[in-house]
A and B are shown apart, each in its own frame.
Chain A
Amino acid sequence: MSLSEFWDFLVLGVVLGSLYAVIAIGYTLVYGVLQLLNFAHSEVFMFGGYGGLIALTAWSPVTSPSGFQSVAYVAVGMCAGAALGGIAAYGLEKVAYRPLRRRHAPRLVFLITAIGASFFLYNLAGKLFGRNAAPMPTMYENKKLFSVFGADINITQLLILISAVVMMIGLDYVVNRTKLGSGIRAVAQDPEVASLMGVDIDKVVSRTFVIGGLLGGAAGFLFGTNQQVFYTMGFLPGITAFAAAVLGGIGNVRGAMVGGMLLGIVENLTVGFWGDGWRYVGAFAVLVLVLMFRPTGILGERVGRTA
């Protein structure tokens, strides 16, 4: 593989990795406050894709949009995706997780509920919207913009990168600088003490889910724009993002960003060297190797302690 090819795959890896990072944040936030593996987050992501698709189909974009129209389409699609993702996550927490928390059910039970909810949600989406894949309506002409070391960057890729970076910075701000963020960190560190200090745990948990859902939904829209929307689209990216969250240190927001990036890059380099069939082998081999030497991930666990 020549150097220019290496750059090609690296750039693609960064783009995909930034998507993974945004999804992984959803897993890691929920893990931070609940120590719970939200298996159904992949369906939140999928609903984000459908949210964008529904909004844009309803609006029915013109065939060759002007620059302003393009921006408007993207903004509306992303907002709709984020909104539906947020709603799905909120509903999920209310219906599937809160009753269990009331009973202090052990985490395995949460896991099975999450699996059940995931099955239910993606099949429901398949039933409602049809089981064939659908492309996102054309929002802009996807042109090549510029090259970095010989690797081309087109509009979609730039869009994904910029949105992901903005979302990550925004989230970092929310977690570290706002009242809600200190609530999240407090609950993550010690729920009992947090509640004694007057933190409304139910509210914090619910909002954490919604934040994760907003990010996941927006990522779903971006994924749909890059590729297509279908009812099982959450599964593979969901698994990878989950791995990314664990790789970075689950419960650690910055860890999820690092982990997502790293897995995106490793995957694309694997594809570059050996072909797409081996994609996940590279990713999971890196995961196992890292965990063997750092059993709690690259940056270590917990929102409260490190972020």
Chain B
Amino acid sequence: MSSGITKTASGGPASTARLRGVAWYQHPRWSRLTAMVAIAVVLTMVTGEQGTDRDIFFALREDFTGPLPWIWLGLCLLVWTVREFWSEPIRKVRRASVAKSDPPVAWVRGQWRGDRRIRQLVLAALVAVAAFAPMGLERYWHQVLVDQIAIYVLLAIGLNVVIGWAGMLDLGFVAFFAIGAYSAAFWTGALPVDPPFELNNFLVIPVAVLTCLIAGLILGAPTLRLRGDYLAIVTLGFHEIVYITAKNVEDFTGGARGVSGVEHFSIDMGFSYEWKLDPLPYYWLLLGFIVLLVFLFMRLEHSRVGRAWTAIREDQVAAAATGVNTVRFKLMAFAIGASTSGIAGVAYASKVGYFNPENFPLLASVLVLAYVIFGGMGSIPGVLFGAAFLVWLPEVLRDYVDPRDRYMYLGALLVIMMIYRPQGVWPSKRRQRELKMATEGTVDGDATAAPAGGKVS
């Protein structure tokens, strides 16, 4: 073993190592080998047997007596060997291919930027595809698309305002979703208490949005002095309070038994149409809402309000010093963000028809936050993609892995993604720049938060 090491370690790194007085076993290569072995062990457990509580050692025994660990160990060692000893030729090949593939990309980008008509054409095509492509799918996917994807996309758009633009860490966003759903139930007469008058679902939307706005203000007002993690825990507490209240105030919310019989959407103005159990009409309705909101929010992003949010996010003190009314704009971010979940709540309550407090667990709040940051916070296309992709992923994983393990893969994906692409899949340009500056050590990534561990390591 040792002779092989001296042979392979001779060369540049080894000589510098000698100069520093570092022994051969301190070469980072060997700690990377240990890491690869550890990864092989973890992968064995991840892909191995399902355990049982009857015998706590069952899974471990099955996993490590079969061929599985050796397969993973072999693969990991292969990766390690390639990375340590053949990385240079591979890098060359990759560089060559990147150089080749660059011109067409640049050409497309040039066309895209240059011609306005092409942009409009592509845009129209995209909306058309988004509207009609699902028709070719199974109805199962329609249901997933409406009940889960579209709803969470709406939530993510709202949370993006709070966290992506105004830079406030909100860990209790789904509380507003719950408030929206319960107001829908209240105004359509599905709760144990009777509303003063019943409303059509379309009319409930503005009412629910207003309720969420007010709830956003109520949450925002006492927490304005708080920053970063303090805000996170208070919003988390707000969620828990809303959830527990929904569960316990049985006379008003129906408690743990939930609410059923929320009416479907219907229009009765000259012509009448009722949304029924079919998911597709609901999909188009929600797509309409999403397109509308995205349009409005994009206008907002580049308006005075949006710029004020950016200023608060990047440096609150400086923003206040230059005359931005931070209190007002922070409250506005909370309220506007909360409003989309009002829409989501109404749509959800009428589509599914039954819900109970368990639909709004704390975990959902945490997940929405993960969707936003995964997609690239601050960037609307990124957020749309992040939410859509991460909601869709566990559903499709169902067919490929044991359904009980789906969230394990989701968690692993989040970790890997954040390590290799911390800015998210599709970051906004401004956010990317902020991150780049943070990496170079010139400024902090967020005004709410200094980079962890200081600027040295």
Contact = CB atoms under 8 A, between A and B. Distances in A.
24 contacts: A34-B452, A35-B452, A91-B38, A103-B439, A104-B439, A106-B451, A108-B373, A108-B449, A110-B452, A111-B373, A116-B417, A119-B414, A120-B415, A126-B404, A127-B50, A127-B59, A127-B404, A129-B51, A134-B53, A195-B456, A201-B457, A239-B362, A277-B248, A291-B226
Interface string A30-49: 01011111000000000000
A127 B50 CA distance: 5
Contacts of A95: 415
Interface in B3-55: 35, 38, 42, 45-46, 48, 50-54
A278 B452 contact: no
A277 B244 contact: yes
B336 to A, nearest CB: 20
B438 A106 contact: yes
A54 interface: yes
A246 interface: yes
Scoring B366, B414, B450 by chain A CB atoms within 10 A of each residue's CB, the highest score goes to: B414
Contacts of A99: 419
Contact of A116 (B226, B236, B412, B448): B412
B236 A239 contact: yes
A291 B361 CA distance: 24
Scoring A34, A124, A242 by chain B CB atoms within 10 A of each residue's CB, the highest score goes to: A124
Contacts of B74: none
Contact of A37 (B229, B238, B419): B229
Interface of A: 31, 33-37, 53-54, 57-58, 91, 94-97, 99-113, 115-121, 123-124, 126-134, 187, 190-192, 195, 201-202, 205, 235, 239, 242-243, 246, 250, 277-281, 283-285, 287-288, 291-292, 295-297
B173 to A, nearest CB: 14
Nearest to B377: A108
Given A105-B422, A278-B244, A285-B241, A250 B457 contact: no
A28 B286 CA distance: 43
A129 B53 contact: yes
A239 B445 CA distance: 26
Scoring B38, B60, B422, B453 by chain A CB atoms within 10 A of each residue's CB, the highest score goes to: B453
Contacts of A130: 50-54, 56, 59
B233 interface: yes
A112 B369 contact: yes
A201 B38 CA distance: 24
A24 to B, nearest CB: 12
Interface in B183-206: none
Contacts of A288: 222-223, 234, 237-238
Interchain residue pairs A-B with the least CB separation, the first 10: A106-B445, A116-B414, A191-B454, A119-B411, A284-B237, A120-B411, A123-B408, A130-B53, A107-B449, A132-B53
Contacts of B448: 107
Nearest to A36: B452
Interface string B207-245: 000000000000000110110111011101110110011
Contacts of A107: 228, 445-446, 448-452
A23 to B, nearest CB: 15
Contacts of A285: 237, 241
Nearest to A105: B422
B59 A117 contact: no
Contacts of A33: 453
B238 to A, nearest CB: 8
Nearest to B256: A277
Contacts of B248: 277-278
A111 B374 CA distance: 12
B376 to A, nearest CB: 11
B293 interface: no
B281 interface: no
A128 B59 CA distance: 6
B454 A190 contact: yes
A109 B373 contact: yes
Nearest to B34: A94
A113 B453 contact: no
A99 B452 CA distance: 12
A303 B448 CA distance: 20
A107 B232 CA distance: 12
B451 A123 contact: no
Contacts of A119: 407-408, 410-411, 414
Contact of A281 (B38, B52, B222, B244): B244
A288 B452 CA distance: 25
Given A117-B415, A128-B51, A101 B233 contact: no
A297 B229 CA distance: 12
A105 B59 contact: no
